[in-house]
Amino acid sequence: MPYDSGARPLIELIGVTKVYGHGDAAVHALAGVDLKFERGDFAAIMGPSGSGKSTAMNVIGCLDVPSGGKYLYDGVDVGALDRNRRALLRRHFLGFVFQGFNLLARTSAVENVELPLIYRGLAHGERRRLAMSALERVGLKGREHHGPSELSGGQQQRVAIARAIVTNPAVLLADEPTGNLDTRNSREIMELLTGLNRQDITVIMVTHETDIAAYARRVIRFVDGKIESDRLNSVRENA
């Protein structure tokens, strides 16, 4: 049974479909998905390869558009927005963390974190102040001028998280955020994401690891482009 708190959702997918290709070659990545996320949610999306979980994340992140159905963000029909307005929504309200970190190799940690602020047109001094603050927030004070090659995998992911939160987004989208990390660093990154969630950032995370999903308050399972289950995480709720 789908999870529903009864509150007005921050994000809502209504009958969302996504089809790639045509005719016999068509792939139905999403097959009529109904899904809600409220403010402050922490949800883990799971499922086998090809189940639709990453496609759903891309739709929520405005990196892709549905073939059918509706995507509402805070009551606004995202499908009715043009490309530029979807980009503004993505830039101002959504933060992204990926498995591969996606840091610029020859750029310092603080300069990597500043990148989203450049797109916003902020002056250098303000960018630097906000980026330094974000790095301190993720526990990297003193590492601001280190390049990615001088940082461990866990530290690189912290830089990526700082870059994602430097714009103060309402939603943090994390796609396999611990996929390239060992057990200790994975635990530290998940504790960091849990702390950010407690600071009112909504976290939506794709993972295939049950021990990582256990950090979320809610676990959603996709199979064949549909939601198989959507339940509160009893372990987290009783913690």
Per-residue pLDDT of the chain in tens (239 residues, 90 and over written 9): 455 656 689 999 999 999 999 888 889 999 999 999 999 999 999 999 999 999 999 999 999 999 999 999 999 999 999 999 999 999 999 999 988 889 999 999 999 999 999 988 899 999 999 999 999 999 999 999 999 999 999 999 999 999 999 999 999 999 999 999 999 999 999 999 999 999 999 999 999 999 999 999 999 999 999 999 999 986 555 44
Distance between CA atoms of 27 and 65, rounded to whole angstroms? 15
pLDDT of residue 234: 67
60, amino acid identity: I
Strand duo 27-37 + 11-20: pairing: antiparallel
Distance between CA atoms of 87 and 12, rounded to whole angstroms? 18
Spans of all domains in the chain? 40-54+89-237
Distance between CA atoms of 156 and 162, rounded to whole angstroms? 10
Tell me the whole-structure pTM to 2 decimals: 0.91
In CATH, what is the architecture of 40-54+89-237?
A: 3-Layer(aba) Sandwich (3.40)
What the block records as the tokens of 21 is 């290709």
